[in-house]
Amino acid sequence: MSAALGSVATTESSLAVDAKALHKSFGPLQVLRGIDLTVQRGEVVCLLGPSGSGKSTLLRCINHLERLDAGELRVYGELVGYRRRGNGLQELSERAVNRQRQRVGMVFQRFNLFPHMTALQNVIEAPIRVQREPKADAVANAKRLLSQVGLSDKTDSYPSQLSGGQQQRVAIARALAMRPELMLFDEPTSALDPELVGEVLTVMRELAGQGMTMVVVTHEIGFAREAADTVVFLDGGVIVEAGPPSTVLTAPKHPRTADFLRRVL
């Protein structure tokens, strides 16, 4: 895997993500309670925390898969999901939101591959249909990406013929095929058998090493220690502690962070 897995486009802001006072509730349940978070271009941020702490919801808000109740969220300087109108905000059309999402690749816990399509067909689907890329170009790029995630011999395999780790690597290649500026990973190894986790983390480490901006929800403390520039610990919908992994994972300042690390380690 020597060539670059993704390309980072020039953007209008050095901040990949700029989140201010984010609030999100589901009925009476407050999931995000005033989140402030910045992610620099080229930075790898790992979100840690117990189940229900708001990590996945925060990730989904960045891609406008969940709508905020309050606060402001920008990706590379562009307001996500809304535009300013007078003193308020007006929600963008679905078409405009989809245009914004093309800048962001997302990999989920479940692989979400189309079961009736081969690995190659899964990777070329969005570039052809959404970005109107010529099929020959999409196929060439897809083969390159599948080779770089170690699946050059699986281009004609269907998801049912692939292991979980292989399916997740296809999902990563599929996200990269859209040439995103920002990659979001929502616990990408949580659905995998333990022996398959390493092959996915290897691809993610290489992406990080090549300068891809990444926000990763994970319980893989080893990956966070090795690949993250910043570790953010959430609990109860708030950021409890954030900093370099050498500090947060080795000498946490908050007792809640220390207790969490004792339990997961």
Helices (H), 28-118: 55-62, 94-101
When pLDDT is averaged across residues 208-218 and rounded to a whole number, the result is 96
pLDDT at 2: 34
Residues 121 and 173: their CA atoms lie apart, in Å, by 11
Question: Which DSSP category does 92 fall into?
Answer: P
Residues 160 and 145: their CA atoms lie apart, in Å, by 20
Residues 135 and 2: their CA atoms lie apart, in Å, by 25
Query: For residue range 167-204, what is the model confidence (pLDDT) as tens digits?
Result: 999 999 999 999 999 999 999 999 898 889 999 999 99
pLDDT at 176: 96
What is the average pLDDT score of the chain? 92
pLDDT at 7 over 80: no
Query: For residue range 26-39, what is the model confidence (pLDDT) as tens digits?
Result: 999 999 999 999 99
Direct distance between the N- and C-terminal alpha carbons of the chain, in angstroms, rounded to an integer: 30
pLDDT at 12: 54
pLDDT at 11 over 50: no
Sign for the CA dihedral angle at 213, 249, 204, 21 comes to negative
pLDDT at 219 over 70: yes
pLDDT at 121: 98
Query: For residue range 65-108, what is the model confidence (pLDDT) as tens digits?
Result: 999 999 999 999 999 988 888 877 888 888 888 888 889 999 99
Residues 76-112 as b or e (16 or more Cβ within 10 Å = b): beeebbbeeeeeeeeebeeeebeebbebbbbbbbebe
pTM for this predicted structure: 0.91
pLDDT classification of 258: cutoffs 50, 70, 90? very high
pLDDT at 246 over 60: yes
Helices (H), 2-118: 55-62, 94-101
**Percentage of the chain exceeding pLDDT 70:** 95
